[in-house]
């Protein structure tokens, strides 16, 4: 089963593709979709859609896993992330790929064994499970891989 994990953000969206075979998960590809911070919203949303659609075509995931939004005190940031997440869901839906979403606590629990785990613990477990060097990866990428790993243990196709 091929899984695309996505960590929605404002202008940097982490993504990671893993392959699950039996009890083994293997890293296929990962990175970020990044646009300049002050990109006009209409251009940002179109570019996000275009780049995500290309990722879906390139990697042919069986399922997409997305981190749910969590409560934000900054309403403007929350709205921007929600708009981007909507574009992500549209691209996935138009590709006829099923998706699942998980709360941050569910992801931490699935990957690190503790719903209150800190970022370092999650990154360390991503590195151990996927047998990869996460030291040069952005947090957004590691978070997306953690989302994909969560789907690999919680979802059955």
Q: How many alpha carbons lie under 13 Å from residue 34 in its C-beta half-sphere?
A: 9
Q: Classify burial at 113, counting beta carbons within 10 Å of its beta carbon; exposed 0-12, middle 13-18, buried 19 or more.
A: exposed
**Sequence-separated (6 or more) residues with CB below 8 Å from residue 102:** 65, 66, 67, 68, 110, 147, 150, 151, 154
Q: Where in the sequence is the domain holding 147, given as residue range(s)? A: 2-154
Residues acting as catalytic residues: 7, 67, 140
* Rounded distance between C-alpha atoms, residue 31 and residue 14, angstroms: 6
Q: What is the mean pLDDT of residues 123-133?
A: 96
* CATH code of the domain in which 38 resides: 3.30.420.10
Report the 10 Å Cβ neighbour count for 103: 14
> What percent of the chain is predicted at pLDDT more than 90?
76
**Number of compact structural domains in the chain:** 1
Which of the 8 DSSP states describes residue 73?
A: S
Of 110 and 11, more confident: 110
Q: What is the mean pLDDT of residues 106-135?
A: 94
Helix/strand/coil for 5: strand
- pTM equals 0.93
Q: What is the mean pLDDT of residues 60-86?
A: 84
Give the model confidence (pLDDT) of 91-111 as tens digits: 999 999 999 999 999 999 999
């Amino acid at each position: 089963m091929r899984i695309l994990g996505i960590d929605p953000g404002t202008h940097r969206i982490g993504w990671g593709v893993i392959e699950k075979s039996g009890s083994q998960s293997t890293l296929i590809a990962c990175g970020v979709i990044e646009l300049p911070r002050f990109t006009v919203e209409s251009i940002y949303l179109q570019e996000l859609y275009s780049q995500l659609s290309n990722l879906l075509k390139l990697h042919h995931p069986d399922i997409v896993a997305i981190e749910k939004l969590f409560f934000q005190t900054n309403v403007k940031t929350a709205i921007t992330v929600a708009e981007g997440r909507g574009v992500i869901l549209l691209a996935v839906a138009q590709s006829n790929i099923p998706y699942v979403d998980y709360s941050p606590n569910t992801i931490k629990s699935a990957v690190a064994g503790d719903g209150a785990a800190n970022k370092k613990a999650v990154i360390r477990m991503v590195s151990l499970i996927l047998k990869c060097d996460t030291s040069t990866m952005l947090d957004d990428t590691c978070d997306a891989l953690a989302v994909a790993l969560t789907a690999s243990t919680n979802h059955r196709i």
